[in-house]
Structure 1
């Protein structure tokens, strides 16, 4: 039997606010949990899903993009691949910009 967690337990374990959890349910990032006594009861698999969502956010994906990634079940996952390739190009551009900014700051700091 899998463990069920209250919204407060999920929030504590993932550091995701209960309001955010409810919002994720509303927009379809999280499946609506079962209820017991009127309280949400999440399957412990929600912890992994929230970790994936958090990692995607850290990589710069928007919530609608994350939903597309998580819901892409087509063979070969073409939508996911296209989104990932676009995000990698965006990250490469950001990294180049940051590297140039670092060079300029280091140059400025070396000036007397």
Structure 2
């Protein structure tokens, strides 16, 4: 079992030490002790951090990720939660594809005024519907 201090874990993971301390505080990772004032981790923490990064990349919250990472180091992934997230990503992809296509059309639209273009009107309508469904994020 190889041990890595927090500086090495930060270097290898690309995360700042403050994030590692926060993840430890949240119970996502666990140090195995200290070397002086520096936290020390088992090298397996790098794999766990990769799993956390994957979860964050697909939009899971830290609470969601924590529920998938059992304290004993094993995974407790809810497959239905994965399917649900994949379905949500499919909806996002479809919406973003429609926006992309609308923007491409608007860039090449022969209409003198974009407001007279039916496709541009649909793009504005889609944007309006999307923004009205968003929940406030509290300043984020």
| Interval of TM-score (by shorter of Structure 1 and Structure 2) | 0.7 to 0.9
User: Paired residue for 1:97?
Assistant: 95
TM-score by length of 2: 0.69
Q: Is the 8 A contact 1:4 1:44 kept in 2?
A: yes
TM-score by length of 1: 0.85
Query: What are the ranges of 5 or more consecutive residues in structure 2 without an aligned counterpart?
Result: 111-140
What RMSD, in angstroms, separates the aligned Cα atoms of the two structures?
Answer: 1.9
Higher RCO, 1 vs 2 (CA within 8 Å, ≥6 residues apart): 1
State the Cα deviation string for residues 80-104 of structure 1 (Å, max 9, x = none): 1232122112101110111101110
Higher helix fraction (1 or 2): 1
- Aligned length in residues: 107
- The yes-or-no answer on 1:5 pairing with 2:4 is yes
Query: What are the ranges of 5 or more consecutive residues in structure 1 without an aligned counterpart?
Result: none
Bigger radius of gyration among the two? 2
